[in-house]
Amino acid sequence: MTYQTQIEDWRSDRLAALTAEDGWLNLTDRIEIAPGRMTVGRAADNDVVISAGPDYLGVLDLGADGAATFDAGQGAQPFQPVPDNPPRLKVGDLLLERSQVEGIFALRVRDAKAPTRQDFPGIDYYPLDSAWRIEADWHPLPEALDLDIDLVTGAQDRVRITHEARFTHDGQTVTLLPTHEKSGKPMFVIRDRTAGAETYGAARFLIGEVQGDKVVLDFNKAFNPPCAYTEFAVCPLPPRQNIMHFAIRAGELKPADH
């Protein structure tokens, strides 16, 4: 398989994930909730008022430990764990998720029939440039580092970092910190000189591929965060170490309406 074919396959998978039933285009609500029993629906007299679905969807029970059930009239059903995602439960055309950020719970609602998902025009990319596929050194830190990461909401999230990626660009050493993990792979929240004008202003995400003492950073696979597509996502901002003062013209461009 050629490198171009690999990238084309990655782009197809990326589009499929973004437009899937549990993708980011059909998120209609994110409402902070506290442990307890609460009614959920579109009607104003519900404890939790959402913008999709029927007037009275059902009753949500949230435990202090985050365990949640929902009764839509057929008995309480538990939210099911999903890898790399919050626990979720399908109720009619709605997908309910119990998310948590910094100890605060929220109910996220996705509508499988959301028009935004159905009308999505696609993703724009820079031309493929193999020079931006970089095999960086994968350095273990002398000791784990706890780092506060700013979120777009103004809150902070604390992450633990055990490695850093190092490579050279124009004779200068660049060090990037992997602040999150996706399917067991390090994820980098990055920003470069294209941000705002050509790419999404807040950040882009990049998944690394660890190969022994190296990590492949393929910036042709740099992609927009969920916040580029919905106001209901809570996205991390790049730590200062991941703000690069040069342009990386590879990967996803900012959405057309930004």
pLDDT tens digits along 205-237? 999 999 999 999 999 999 999 999 999 999 999
The per-residue pLDDT for 136 is 98
The yes-or-no verdict on residue 258 having pLDDT over 60 is: no
Cα 207 from Cα 187, distance rounded (Å) = 4
The per-residue pLDDT for 49 is 98
Average pLDDT along the chain: 94
The per-residue pLDDT for 46 is 98
pLDDT tens digits along 119-147? 788 999 999 999 999 999 999 999 999 99
Of all residues in the chain, what percent carry a pLDDT higher than 70? 98
Tell me the mean pLDDT in the region 54-74.
Answer: 97
Contact status, residue 214 vs residue 203, Cβ threshold 8 Å: no
256: pLDDT confidence band, cut at 50, 70 and 90?
Answer: confident
Which pTM does this prediction carry?
A: 0.90
pLDDT tens digits along 16-29? 999 988 889 999 99
Cα 161 from Cα 27, distance rounded (Å) = 30
The yes-or-no verdict on residue 154 having pLDDT over 90 is: no
The residue length of the chain stands at 258
The yes-or-no verdict on residue 112 having pLDDT over 90 is: no
Cα 72 from Cα 59, distance rounded (Å) = 7
The per-residue pLDDT for 135 is 98
Contact status, residue 142 vs residue 50, Cβ threshold 8 Å: no
Tell me the mean pLDDT in the region 142-167.
Answer: 93
Classify 177 as helix, strand or coil: coil
116: pLDDT confidence band, cut at 50, 70 and 90?
Answer: low
Q: Which of the two residues, 102 and 14, has the higher pLDDT score?
A: 14
